[in-house]
Amino acid sequence: MDKWIKFLEINASRIFDLTIEHAILVGAAILVALLIGVPLGIYLTTNDYLAETVLQIASVMLTIPSIALFGVMIPVFSIVNLGIGFVPAFVALVLYAQLPIIRNTYTAIRNVDPEMRDAAIGLGMKPIQRLFRVEIPNAFPVIMAGIRTAVVINIGIGVIAAYIGAGGLGVLITQGITRGDNYLIITGSVAVAILAMIADGFLIWIQKRYTPKSIAN
């Protein structure tokens, strides 16, 4: 234990830097995933046929082993000379985040009480007014749940990004494995877990803060 504490003291700033790197990679991926996934999820509620197809593709994507998906990214991005590093890892994470975000957005908007929607139309709201004033606010907790799942998945999968040179906490773990250094492995894993908990905690706070209190339960 003492040895580990010593190890932490020596490596503190490196661990911190890698954590930030990890967080930036995941954060950027989630941000882009949101910009794609939420509007797409909303759009799909108006197109049943497309919804089925898109949700299926997104499901399949999530079943691809992460290492394989990262592996595929390398040759693809090599074409534009970005085979390793941030970009392929980022793209892979964006793809992984899609399913929970699209699916939850789609389901949440879909499940808005039809009577409520009916009342909104009957009162003379335009579709866009209905979306922003009624549907999104009432769907918000479920959409947030999807985002939280995506973030936690991405923080975990982000570890693999180290294999394609994108840095992050995966670096500690991969190095630990190659060197047989348990301190590195444990430190990396714990840091990933803590990062995930902090991120989730933060998102729960946002969710609570912006969920109309009357629909919170």
Partner 1 sequence: MITFDQTTKTYEGGVTAVKGVDFTVEKGEIVVLLGPSGCGKTTLLRMVNRLETISDGKIMIDGEDSMSLDSIELRRKIGYVIQSNGLFPNMTIEENVMIVPDLLGWSKKKKKERFKKLMDMISMSSDEFGKRYPHELSGGQQQRIGVIRALAADPPVMLMDEPFGALDPIIREKIQDEFLQIQKEVNKTILFVSHDIDEAIRMADKIVLLRDGELMQYDTPSEMLVRPKSEFVREFFGKDRAIKSLSLHTIRELQDIIGLAEFDEGIEDTITINVNHDLRNTLSMLLNQEADQVIVIDDDGNKLGAITIDIVQKYLHFEIKAKPTLVQKG
Binding site for partner 1 (CB under 8 A): 115-116, 118-126, 129, 133-134, 137-138, 212-215
Q: Which is nearer to partner 1, 84 or 125 (CB)?
A: 125
Q: Which is nearer to partner 1, 57 or 215 (CB)?
A: 215
* Residue 213 C-beta: closest distance to partner 1, Å: 7
Tokens 């590093």 found at: 85
Nearer to partner 1 (CB atom), residue 80 or residue 216: 216
Least Cβ distance, residue 105 to partner 1 (angstroms): 17
Burial of 126 (0-12, 13-18, 19+ CB in 10 A): exposed
- CB closer to partner 1 out of 29 and 120: 120
Residue 99 three-state SS? helix
User: Helix, strand, coil % (nearest 5) of the chain?
Assistant: 85, 0, 15
CB of 211 vs partner 1, minimal distance in Å: 9
CB within 8 Å of 32: residues ≥ 6 apart: 90, 94
CB 101 within 8 A of CB 146: yes
**How many H helices and E strands in the chain?**
9, 0
Nearest CB to partner 1, comparing residues 17 and 118: 118
| DSSP character string of 96-108 | HHHHHHHHHHHHH
Least separation in angstroms between CB 125 and partner 1: 7
Compute and round to an integer the Cα radius of gyration of the chain. 20
Residue 42 CB, shortest distance to partner 1, in Å, is 17
